[in-house]
Amino acid sequence: ARRSLEHDAYQRTKRRLTTVIGAPAVTRRAGAAADQPHRTIYDAGHTQDLPGTKVREEGSDPGPDATVNRAYAGLGATFELYLTAYGRHSIDDAGLPLDATVHFGEGYDNAFWNGEQMVFGDGDGEIFLDFTIPVDVIGHELTHGVTQHTANLTYFGQPGALNESLSDVFGSLIKQYTLGQTAAEADWLIGAGLLAPRVNGTALRSMKAPGTAYDDDVLGKDPQPAKMEDYVRTGRDNGGVHINSGIPNHAFYLAATALGGHSWEKAGQIWYDVLTGGELKEDALFADFATLTVKAARERYGAGGELQAVQKAWEQVGVRT
């Protein structure tokens, strides 16, 4: 049964209205949301019809499909990081249900957020494997939802590359949080385990060393720059959103490793403050974002090592603050 996006939006609105009108007086604090995720995993059965058939819902036991179980667990880990580290209740900070569809399309070589839900392809097995394999990819897609509900960065050029970078930053933090890794222990890769065995590469992107994730006959060479002087001017990829994200990605890596410890605690908090603080404009450039991270570092941690680490990170990638 195919449901339209309009229908989903209508259902959500209806649910909200029902809550407002029909809620008993004081069962829940105003503005409070559940501290538990509300996950639903659907199976598209190798079609491109969304959302597909419901195959697992919140609280149910793992089933026989490892892809479904990985999606469920990855959404849970992402929900948990946002809640425990930043006090955020889901994508909209109001407990939005987390919907994901797996087995989308035939040999589909991508994953995405469609404005309403997450979608994961199986990969064609030649270049890419199952897109639910890397937990950072799940965190990446969910974070597109967070960005949509907060700064809403325009998906083109520098604001688009910031949008992509924020998805990589929080995607990587989810992996680090899941594995209990410090900045020094993390691999800083996005999509490790996703490339098929025949591909000469380790991942989709590297935040530690942008441009070195793969160099392959079919895929070509990883096109990501690490510094502003190598910024790629292109009309492809929405003005290089997955290319130039290497620059803010590397700035985050530099700040987080300079600070040490768990990257989601200080560097992640500063980046989260900027993403959700209300001052980041939809058309922000790298320099605007960088300036706001410096301000956020000072406001949260004072004029100490945190501020210096953030300033130095942007300086090293050639972005003025």
Quick one: tokens of 61? 């036991």
110 lies in the binding site for ligand ASN (CB under 6 A): yes
How many Cβ atoms sit within 10 Å of the Cβ of residue 268?
24
Cα–Cα distance for residue pair 117/296, rounded to 1 Å: 30
Contact at 8 Å (CB) between 274 and 296?
Answer: yes
Active site residue 141: yes
What Rg do the C-alpha atoms of the chain give, in angstroms? 19
Q: Which of 89, 103, 141, 262 is catalytic?
A: 141
Site for ligand ASN in 158-177 (CB under 6 A): 164
Quick one: tokens of 286? 């790298």
Contact at 8 Å (CB) between 122 and 67?
Answer: yes
- Residue choice 111, 142, 247, 259 for contact with ligand ASN (CB under 6 A): 111
Which residue number is nearest to Zn ion in terms of Cβ? 167
Nearer to ligand ASN among residue 141 and residue 288 (C-beta) = 141
114 lies in the binding site for ligand ASN (CB under 6 A): no
Q: Report, in Å, the least distance between residue 203 CB and ligand ASN.
A: 13
- Residue choice 112, 181, 279, 318 for contact with ligand ASN (CB under 6 A): 112
E-strand spans in 91-202?
Answer: 98-104, 111-113, 118-121, 189-190
Quick one: tokens of 110? 């991508």
Question: Based on the number of CB atoms within 10 Å of its own CB, is 104 exposed (0-12), middle (13-18) or buried (19 or more)?
Answer: buried
Contact at 8 Å (CB) between 188 and 172?
Answer: yes
Task: Give the contact letters, 63-102, x = binds to ligand ASN (CB under 6 A), - = no.
Answer: ----------------------------------------
Calculate the CA 192 to chain-centre distance.
Answer: 15
- DSSP notation for 83-103: HHHH---TTTTS---EEEEEE
With CB under 5 to 8 Å by kind, the binding choice for 262 among ligand ASN, Zn ion, none is none
Contact at 8 Å (CB) between 213 and 222?
Answer: yes
With CB under 5 to 8 Å by kind, the binding choice for 110 among ligand ASN, Zn ion, none is ligand ASN
Q: Report, in Å, the least distance between residue 315 CB and Zn ion.
A: 27
Nearer to ligand ASN among residue 91 and residue 111 (C-beta) = 111
Q: Report, in Å, the least distance between residue 204 CB and ligand ASN.
A: 9
With CB under 5 to 8 Å by kind, the binding choice for 183 among Zn ion, ligand ASN, none is none
Q: Report, in Å, the least distance between residue 237 CB and Zn ion.
A: 11
- Residue choice 141, 222, 288, 306 for contact with ligand ASN (CB under 6 A): 141
Q: Which of 89, 140, 242, 262 is catalytic?
A: 242
- For ligand ASN (CB under 6 A), the number of binding residues is 7
Cα–Cα distance for residue pair 266/183, rounded to 1 Å: 11
Instruction: Just list the catalytic residues.
Output: 141, 242
Give residues in contact with ligand ASN (CB under 6 A). 110-112, 140-141, 144, 164
